[in-house]
Amino acid sequence: MNSLQIVATVTERDVLRYTPAGVPIVSATLTHSSQQVEAGVARLTEFEILAVAAGEISGRFSQAELGAVYQFTGFLAKKNRNSRALVFHIIDFNAAASAAHILDTGASNGIR
């Protein structure tokens, strides 16, 4: 199964564009920060991930507030056929309950 849920901030976003096939698409950078417990030790986890929203969700995502915290659902795929880099493909997102949620601990923080 290839499914990812993450609570993250939209830190950068391109303008809505269309693929040669006419599919609307928006690229963005998402930033995540949380505290995880690994081997009984608390660990700060921070990263940026490239993301894309294609199809119907792209219109809503293109209007999402920069700097706001959202819970994203999607999957990972190669950036292109010959790339080893991964991109997060957003299939749904909603406003996170609160900004404190991004620093929550344990599995409830949005990374599964």
Is the Cβ–Cβ distance between 16 and 24 less than 8 Å? yes
3-state secondary structure of 57: helix
Task: Provide the whole-model pTM.
Answer: 0.83
Note the pLDDT tens digit of each residue in 17-76: 999 999 999 999 999 999 999 999 999 999 999 999 999 999 999 999 999 999 999 999
Note the pLDDT tens digit of each residue in 32-44: 999 999 999 999 9
Beta strands in the chain (DSSP E): 4-13, 17-18, 24-38, 41-54, 69-78, 86-95
For the chain, the structural domain boundaries read 4-98
Which residues lie across from 27 on neighbouring strands?
52
Please state which CATH number belongs to domain 4-98.
2.40.50.140
Q: Does position 104 have pLDDT exceeding 90, yes or no? A: no
